[in-house]
Amino acid sequence: MQTEYPFVMSIAGYDPSGGAGLLADIKTFEQLKVQGLGVCTAMTLQTESQCLSLNCQPLEEILSAIDVLMKSYYVVAIKIGVVKDAKFLTQIVEKIKSINPEAKIVWDPVLKSTSEFSFFDLSTISEVENILKQIDLITPNYNEYNILQEFNLFENTKNSCSVLIKGGHREDQLGTDILLENGKETSIHPTDKTSVYYPKHGSGCVLSSAIASHLALGKNVEEACRNGKLYIENFLTSNPALLGFHSN
């Protein structure tokens, strides 16, 4: 068995364009020298500019795949992307922790696509609070963070995880991320303000999987977020198209 690189798992949707979800995560893992594993939570039909359909996989099949992979390979970090609702998220996290309590978990809360296609059942969002303390980091954009805030999910900091609020949708200080960790707020600014950043399909997926990769490589949350930002900046400047190129 290959053991040179640490194993990182993506639990996410399948995007046939390759720009987001599992395929984008695996591309990111490969660039960052971690060994990528994948569990599909949903089959989608989409391009870089629109999502046409979403078919969630049965929860039992998702949990079974996690069980087989995590008992076959020592998975040290997991990125979770599209999940149907709070029940799916809760049982996925509980399954991960039952096999490896030390595994780092990053949840990218994909609530809606940029084209306003709904991925997560928001009527269940208040139930997420109970599982946050078992997640290391969530990576919402500003719009997603505001939705999560409406349900007071981060009021009890002892039961909450770290939060990286992505700055791509900010009206002020565009591109500046905010890391909330242990009651501390840290701004993570763009490294090169002269660069031209092009919008990219799947940029949130790429950032969260880059962060999970760096956690697997031994970085702490802040270091992983800063290194993940370097990766996503390369991705956003890679070309003018909505489908970006991966490089490190």
Q: Is the pTM of this model over 0.75?
A: yes
Q: What is the pLDDT of residue 1?
A: 45
Q: List, for the chain, all residue ranges whose pLDDT scores fall below the cut of 50.
A: 1-2
Q: What is the pLDDT of residue 73?
A: 97
- Cβ–Cβ under 8 Å, residues 113 and 119: yes
Closest CA to 96 of 123, 72, 77: 77
Domain locations in the chain as residue ranges: 7-236
SS3 content of the chain, % helix, strand, coil (to 5): 40, 25, 40
- Cβ–Cβ under 8 Å, residues 211 and 228: yes
User: Which pair of structure tokens corresponds to residue 74?
Assistant: 């020592």
- Cβ–Cβ under 8 Å, residues 166 and 140: yes
Using CA atoms, how far apart are residues 47 and 17, in angstroms rounded to an integer?
A: 5
Q: Which CATH number fits domain 7-236: 2.40.50.140, 3.40.50.300, 3.30.460.80, 3.40.1190.20?
A: 3.40.1190.20
Across 90-143, the runs of DSSP E, i.e. the strands, are 104-107, 137-138
Q: What is the pLDDT of residue 22?
A: 98
Closest CA to 234 of 216, 210, 217: 210
Q: List the alpha helices (DSSP H) in the chain.
A: 21-31, 59-72, 86-99, 142-150, 203-216, 221-236
Using CA atoms, how far apart are residues 177 and 160, in angstroms rounded to an integer?
A: 19
Q: What is the pLDDT of residue 196?
A: 85
Using CA atoms, how far apart are residues 192 and 230, in angstroms rounded to an integer?
A: 10
Please state, in angstroms and as integers, the Cα–Cα distance from residue 146 to each residue in 21, 89, 190, 205, following that order: 23, 20, 22, 19
